[in-house]
Chains A and B, each alone.
Chain A
């Protein structure tokens, strides 16, 4: 395990807030440290085996950005 890896909420919260460029008060920092295990627990609980076949709900359709009809050019498989 690399030396920088840690499970210490204080170090994790420090790293996250630094990466996010957020400057918080000491009291707010203490609250984030206290709440971090709950935040992590909620996210970890979603990694359920039965979700393996599912795609995320996010949809992207490239046709949304074109007002005219768009069709594939003719090719040998067309």
Chain B
């Protein structure tokens, strides 16, 4: 099977939505092309656990019929999306990429966020590969696809929303859903070269999702551009009574707020740890600061600041995450240790190594750090950092132990519950994507997306497509 390249004009949700309405494209044709690419490239890239081709084509036909009849449900209508396989979706099993999860988990149901996308006329290509229970590294012996970075298959696509990240990057979907507990939307977006938004805690209802860290989890949109993420979020966001943490906050028309202006925007650049750490790759450092200069050229201002205890914040997020995950998995870890992947089980078991007092202290730290970040936001509109310290690492170099030692720039914003978007800002000399993270105040998704969109209106890093078509099976 061949993988027909996507046209640049229809590789984004915005572009495809326009083409679906001017008569130059049908959802059926677009979905068939995406399905052909997904089926041809999945053996090499491992993006999908399950490609639901028949259901997708039915949804596409329904979208075409509705649009032809004047039933326009907005820009997601007829758009092929990938759904991370820890989120319940009718017509497909939810596996969490694990032998441990009960096969009946979520069967026959849509998570509220999936139901909203379905009502908006979206097309579901299938269930996208996830790190096991959104925390492990791939274990090829467990029977699930091993995901690969489309820019270089020897490198990691990061996790845990690996499949959605690969699918968006390689044109196997135009967007999709990820979940983020310590960086699992932003890290795949960063290393696969597209846009990914971690939303404010409670912005999107997370019922119907296999939990990882109850107080840190969020569902976020992943797509090529900030505009596309805004279009997804407009549908995804809003209160739902089945999630006790869902926020009763109004949902703005995010796409209408993306006017390309950052005039007067005040940017904080936390230099210690986020910009001067010895593990930070110089190319990543420089690319982010070039992007900041571009924003300053559009009328923003930037100031170097200090955010104390950033290293401890990374660890506090990890301690809370593994404690909450351990509580969920404890009985299965005791009784089914070897059914978990070889990298998943030691990571989850770390929850047994921290004391009850350590977890309470991490929660106390969370209060102090949140207060400190809030104080910073009294004088600034956004905080900008690299999304990751390095471009995608070689997959063979990854291990749970290494994760304990490496610097990370994402978990801080799960700890504080804030919105943060990762966007591409260039490529390394080795050809791997570089990425910048824009953090905002609670429920200021519109602000971080507006900054991201302003930069994407004058750059085209987010439109770059990896050279994957030769990998087609």
Contacts and interface: CB of A to CB of B under 8 A. Distances in A.
A7 interface: no
Contacts, number: 92
B352 A54 contact: no
Interface string B314-355: 011011000000000010011001000000011001101111
Interface in B386-411: 400-401, 404-405
A43 B361 contact: yes
- Majority DSSP secondary structure for residues of B touching A: helix
A36 B367 contact: no
B350 to A, nearest CB: 6
A55 to B, nearest CB: 7
Given A22-B334, A23-B337, A43 B354 contact: yes
B277 interface: no
A74 interface: no
Interface string A32-57: 10111011101101111011001111
B306 interface: no
A39 B352 CA distance: 11
Interface of B: 215, 309, 311-312, 315-316, 318-319, 330, 333-334, 337, 345-346, 349-350, 352-355, 358, 360-368, 370, 400-401, 404-405
17 contacts: A17-B352, A22-B334, A22-B349, A24-B337, A24-B349, A40-B353, A43-B319, A43-B355, A43-B362, A45-B315, A46-B312, A47-B361, A51-B361, A51-B364, A56-B364, A57-B364, A58-B360
Given A24-B345, A28-B346, A43-B358, 8 more contacts: A17-B349, A42-B404, A43-B355, A43-B362, A46-B365, A51-B365, A56-B360, A56-B366
Interface of A: 16-17, 19-24, 28, 31-32, 34-36, 38-40, 42-43, 45-48, 50-51, 54-58
